[in-house]
């Protein structure tokens, strides 16, 4: 007998914004997840190091979810340090939650790069993939991603609570065309990122000068 599924949303969160938060909350509600855990990475594998320190990114995530019990933060990748491989995070979560289906949430942009993730084929043995639509990105109709979808796609989302792992579901969420890169660009240009992210995250950025010497 499995438990209700939990969601896992990994990211650099440099900084966290309403695109991440709204997606996490909507999926929590539409998929009846017990919670969604936000997992800030320490050192991303396929991109430049984040601009903000791990400590600041973690603090901004904590600030963003302070009033929302459906969303939790998990600092396992920051504590582990080194390169943040999702497979290691899922092995750790599976060990601590042997009977809980795990739903790895990602936007389509992240799915497009999924075949280059370390040991990506094993990820579906440990978790379901919940793919959220993101403005300007489309699922390809050929190639590895398309094959994975053909093999694992499940049209009935309730299955995520019955099986521990192994299915892919595509889930529409309110399209919010917000990106952390754009927020950092706005700050670098001396513009305010206000209303793209929670007010207390905006205040944290201001008070700590997080992106003041920002190279985007
Ligand atoms: P950057 O612009 O620095 O690449 P980002 O805004 O894409 O950052 P990440 O921390 O890299 O944020 O993203 C973490 C996860 O959130 C990824 O799975 C990504 O697809 C998803 N995501 C980010 N922004 C949105 C958005 N506006 N709508 C839906 N999903 C999003």
Output the residue whose Cα is nearest ligand 1's atom 14. 11
13 in contact with ligand 1, CB cutoff 6 A? yes
91 in contact with ligand 1, CB cutoff 6 A? no
Domains along the sequence of the chain with CATH: 6-179 (3.40.50.620)
Backbone dihedral angles phi then psi of residue 55, each to the nearest 5 degrees: -65, -45
Structure tokens at 47: 């991109």
pLDDT above 80 for 212: no
Ligand 1 center–CA 11 separation, angstroms: 7
Q: Which of 12, 14, 20, 108 to mutate to test the pocket of ligand 1 (most atoms within 8 A of CB)?
A: 20
51 in contact with ligand 1, CB cutoff 6 A? no
pLDDT of residue 213: 62
CA distance 216 to 132: 25
CA distance 32 to 6: 9
Ligand 1 center–CA 14 separation, angstroms: 9
179 in contact with ligand 1, CB cutoff 6 A? yes
pLDDT-derived band at 1 (thresholds 50, 70, 90) equals low
Percentage of the chain exceeding pLDDT 70 = 97
pLDDT of residue 119: 95
Residues 122-179: pLDDT tens digits? 999 999 999 998 778 888 999 999 999 999 999 999 999 999 999 999 999 999 999 9
pLDDT of residue 195: 97
pLDDT-derived band at 3 (thresholds 50, 70, 90) equals confident
pLDDT of residue 81: 97
pLDDT of residue 2: 67
pLDDT of residue 136: 81
Residues 39-75: pLDDT tens digits? 999 999 988 899 999 999 999 999 999 999 999 999 9
Per the CB < 8 A criterion, the answer to whether 175 and 135 are in contact is yes
pLDDT above 80 for 211: yes
Ligand 1 center–CA 198 separation, angstroms: 15
Among residues 96, 90, 162, the alpha carbon closest in space to that of 125 is found at 90
Among residues 115, 118, 120, the alpha carbon closest in space to that of 140 is found at 115
Percentage of the chain exceeding pLDDT 90 = 89
34 in contact with ligand 1, CB cutoff 6 A? no
Q: What is the mean pLDDT of residues 95-117?
A: 95
178 in contact with ligand 1, CB cutoff 6 A? yes
């Amino acid at each position: 007998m499995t438990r209700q599924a939990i969601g896992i949303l990994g990211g650099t969160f440099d900084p966290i914004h309403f695109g991440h938060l709204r997606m996490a909350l909507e999926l929590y509600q539409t998929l009846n997840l017990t919670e969604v855990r936000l997992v800030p990475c320490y050192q991303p594998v396929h991109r430049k190091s984040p601009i903000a320190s791990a400590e600041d990114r973690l603090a901004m995530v904590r600030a963003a979810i302070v009033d929302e019990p459906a969303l939790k933060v998990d600092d396992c990748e920051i504590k582990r340090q080194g390169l943040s491989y999702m497979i290691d995070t899922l092995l750790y979560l599976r060990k601590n939650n042997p009977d809980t289906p795990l739903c790895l949430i990602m936007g389509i942009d992240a799915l497009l790069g999924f075949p280059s993730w370390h040991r990506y084929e094993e990820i579906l043995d440990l978790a379901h993939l919940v793919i959220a639509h993101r403005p300007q990105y489309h699922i390809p109709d050929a190639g590895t991603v398309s094959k994975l979808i053909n093999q694992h796609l499940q049209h009935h989302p309730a299955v995520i609570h019955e099986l521990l792992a192994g299915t892919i579901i595509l889930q529409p969420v309110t399209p919010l065309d917000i990106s952390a890169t754009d927020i950092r660009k706005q700050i670098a240009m001396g513009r305010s990122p206000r209303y793209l992210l929670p007010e207390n995250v905006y205040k944290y950025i201001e008070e700590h000068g997080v992106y003041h010497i920002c190279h985007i």
